[in-house]
Structure 1
Amino acid sequence: MNLSSHQSIIDVHGASVPIRIYHNGDIPYEHVHFVLGPLFENFYGDQGLRNMFASVDHIWCAYDIFTDHCVGCALVQSEPDRATLYIKLLGVHRMSQGQGVGTRLLDAVLSWTKSSSYIAVLLHTQADNYKAIGLYQKLGFRKQAYLPDFFHSQAPLRSLLSGEPNAYLMVANLDETTT
């Protein structure tokens, strides 16, 4: 994988939160697990997260410049037949949420996607995850379909622990986004 680095400064309530975003490269699983494990391990289990990490062809990770800790990750799969990318998992470490990390991470994904001749980015999100839905909509994603029991069908035994089983398929058509 090729490593490309994007450094950005995020303004948060008058302060600056510096992050560096890496796309692909030698990102260790432990860094991804530090962010995504607490958010998704109840749903996928450790082995499921490892399998997803190994199976995707794009990984974006945001690192705090001062601490060099990973604070956000996106695991993304290309679908070349449809000229789209599918965000399998996206998360920001709980201590870094609300500081603009998710916005910059998605901005990096969308910018790279546009420059690489893809036409859309897709993702699924829980129907009651209003904070995430708001972020996605702010960046140009639109609700494409409501999918009852989507998360039950993905992992029936674990989904009982994960909350809302219903999902939205959300799509960012890249000729319509503002990034």
Structure 2
Amino acid sequence: MEKKEVNKSVIELAQGDITQEETAAIVNAANKELSPGAGVSGAIHKAAGEQLWEDTKKLGGCETGEAKITWGYNLRARYVIHTVGPVYSGSPEDAKLLRSCYMESLKLASGHDAQSVSFPAISTGVFGYPIDEAAKVSLQAVRDYLREHPEIQKVRFVLFGDNDYAAYQAALKNLPV
């Protein structure tokens, strides 16, 4: 497991299943309707149970770059933070929206006294964001947030495959604190 200290907090990388994380909050890479879908979102909804979908329906969806929060239900995490990443287009706006996903998710975590947060690689699946670029944007956003918000003690990126882990590992190694 790779890690880097920022301020009084830690950024960690792990490979595995985000639904098994023992953390205050896990982040769901959601669609705009916040419906279960496939990939990370489908796995989180399945592990959390039907009540998660009942709650997310009441939230009225979510715009790209924004985040909303629900209880974690059957997950080990107390909360699920739902964020909608950009569908990759190659535009500079993509990085701004992806950064916003991480910043808005962390703001919700801070506001709910969630001292540990686990993220997937947002937008890198069916939304097509290149993993190397996404790793840089996401790690920089988290580092910038942690510099100002030591109440978040740990942020863990839970990556599914070897390629994702390697991309985040390289980006973390080159991340100035």
**Which of 1 and 2 has higher RCO (CA within 8 Å, sep 6+)?**
2
More strand by share: 1
Q: Which has the larger radius of gyration?
A: 1
- TM bucket (normalised to shorter chain) is 0.3 to 0.5
Q: State TM-score, norm by structure 2.
A: 0.40
Q: State TM-score, norm by structure 1.
A: 0.40
